[in-house]
Amino acid sequence: MYNGVRRGGAVEIIANDQGHRITPSWRQERNPQNTVFDAKRLIGRKTDDPQIQPDMKHWPFKVEEINGKPAITVTHKGETPEEISAMVLGKMKETAEAYLGEKVTHAVVTVPAYDPQRQATKDASTIAGLQVLRIINEPTAAAIAYGLNKKGGESRIIVYNLGGGTLDVSLLSIDDGVFEVLATAGDTHLGGEDFDNRVIDYLVKQYKKKTGTDVSKNLKALGKLKREVEKAKRTLSSQQSTKIEIENFEDGKDFSEPLTRAKFEELNMDLFRKTMKPVEQVLKDANVKKEEVDEVVLVGGSTRIPKVQQLLKEFFGGKEPSKGINPDEAVAYGAAVQGGILSGAEGTADVVLVDVCPLTLGIETTGGVFTKLIPRNTVIPTRKSQIFSTAADNQPTVLIQVYEGERSLTKDNNLLGKFELSGIPPAPRGVPQIEVTFEIDANGIMKVSTADKGTGKSESITITNEKGRLSQEEIDRMVAEAEKFAAEDEAQRKRIEALNSLSSFVYGLKNQLGDQEGLGGKLGDDDKKTLLSTIKDTTDWIEENGSSASTEDLEEKLAEVQAAVNPITSKLYSSGGPSGGDDDDIFRDHDEL
């Protein structure tokens, strides 16, 4: 973590009490069970969130459930992730106060662009004694650091922010001090920690293979290994190979294992390639071609990995990523500038920041339809109101269910929160006027309110996103499915048609073989035996795979069966299976709750 301040027209990155400009958010030595880290990955989540299950096996501390929320168990206290984060923020506050010689009460806090847990982050800051002036996206802050002194016409930049636990990608337009976010995407669960864990798992297996000892449950040994793997990863950014050596690794035994850059890349190649998906997404969302991007700005320590830089260079047709700013300090630098803007500091009057919300927001209306109020990549702060009505005569209450996502039905999207507005006077269906308002502030925190225009009665909710979190796979699915919603029905129809064709061919052939007046009476025993065997194998395959097989799988299977059958039947019989499909459902706009 970094501290920064803007004063006297310049940005200063503040060193901690040990003289280091970077302050680690955790440190693990001889007490791994009481060493807490990765609290950022837990903020705003539920204990049973599938996204944190793989992490739990690598954490030396225990995570328990209290009132549905995760609590980190140390020697005597069960702290919430927000409380743990507040401790770190409190330390950063102390460091800034010691450096500046005065009390610090206000701060600009940065978060991953694709992290909707902003209210939880704000809560952690409040616990630490800080009033949050603004929560801004990390890549946006980095863009300010990169473009603050850039002169000339408009330029488009990609900020690729790959840190220890998260990936953020933003496409921005910079024009004479105006920073406009055109699109943003990312993965709140992809970063250096995941690369380290791949190596740790590999080395644990190697050690077991050599010694027969499984250290996967030895927290102290894993702590030592984790520390050395992080060092090795940094070394491999500048060298082709290194050696991981640990004295007294476990039970008096030493650990020694070589690690090459090639092996590190092999273990993590799928994750490295996964980091390119948000890059593709922001270009698609903003309708910008990769050739139209002027600069690719690297932010975050994990961007020092050579393979990551190579993949980005290849993606952008040989364009070298910009290394003009310190990837570790860029976010703090930009946040300090934003703090200067909000406090009216000298030299910041001409800087304008325009950010966006990452996913479409709306409510559920009759029939489970997702009615969109704020489209994704809408500039924030923003406010949108829409009038709805009742779905039944004399309906006294409406349930407002708030969702984020890109699908037309709420069942395919992510529920953020819900509340009721009651006391609606008796009236025929469609007569009451219920106004629903979405407000997103400059911090990205959303408030949803509803009011009965007739009585003036109102209710509201602030979305804190404690009810579930979206993985990158779920986000990718939402965006992709929204773009191909109509095509999805067609694809499903084709899949059903392919399954019907395969089934019809096989069962038609079976019936013909049983017809002694037809095909069954004209084939020799060997040919008939071959066909019956093919029918049985195919029928078994359909029962096992028919419901899950893709259109391509079904078409390939049909071609395979036909190739086996046709040489035998071609002189006697030819047939084809009928096809079928389902009518597409058309979802119209809904205004009934």
Q: Considering 206, 238, 270, which residue would you say is the last residue of a domain?
A: 270
CB atoms near residue 166 (< 10 Å): 25
Q: Are residues 85 and 135 in the same domain?
A: yes
Q: Are residues 170 and 309 in the same domain?
A: yes
What is the reported pLDDT for 23? 61
Q: Considering 356, 388, 404, which residue would you say is the last residue of a domain?
A: 356
Q: What share of the chain is helix, strand, coil (3-state, %, to 5)?
A: 40, 25, 35
- Closest listed residue to residue 451, CA positions, set 426, 434, 429, 463: 434
What is the reported pLDDT for 573? 43
Q: What are phi and psi of 273, to 5 degrees?
A: -65, -35
Position 389 in a domain = yes
What is the reported pLDDT for 66? 64
Position 590 in a domain = no
Position 35 in a domain = yes
Q: Are residues 181 and 284 in the same domain?
A: yes
What is the reported pLDDT for 438? 94
- As given in the structure block, the two tokens for residue 335 are 């946040």
Condensed to tens digits (0 to 9), the pLDDT of residues 428-461 reads: 878 899 999 999 887 778 899 999 998 999 998 8
Domain containing residue 515: CATH number = 1.20.1270.10
Q: Which of the residues in the chain have pLDDT under 50?
A: 26, 28-30, 76, 465-470, 482, 486, 573-589
Q: Are residues 454 and 527 in the same domain?
A: no
What is the reported pLDDT for 57? 65
Domain containing residue 231: CATH number = 3.90.640.10
What is the reported pLDDT for 307? 95
Position 578 in a domain = no
What is the reported pLDDT for 578? 38
Which residues constitute the domain of residue 510?
Answer: 485-569
What is the reported pLDDT for 115? 60
DSSP letters spanning 129-177: T-EEEEEEEHHHHHHHHHHTT--SS-EEEEEEEE-SS-EEEEEEEEETT
Q: Considering 298, 324, 356, which residue would you say is the last residue of a domain?
A: 356
Q: Are residues 153 and 246 in the same domain?
A: no
Condensed to tens digits (0 to 9), the pLDDT of residues 554-585 reads: 999 999 999 988 888 776 644 444 333 333 33
What is the reported pLDDT for 567? 85
Domain containing residue 402: CATH number = 2.60.34.10
Tell me the CA distances in angstroms from 260 to 133, 235, 266, one per residue in order.
45, 10, 10
Q: What are phi and psi of 57, to 5 degrees?
A: -75, -15
Q: Are residues 462 and 533 in the same domain?
A: no
Position 432 in a domain = yes
Q: Are residues 58 and 175 in the same domain?
A: yes
Position 25 in a domain = yes
Position 306 in a domain = yes
525-545 and 551-569 are packed helices; what angle lies between their axes, rounded to 10 degrees? 170
Q: Could you give the number of structural domains in the chain?
A: 4
Distance CA 532, CA 509 (A): 9
- Closest listed residue to residue 81, CA positions, set 92, 99, 102, 65: 65
What is the reported pLDDT for 197? 93
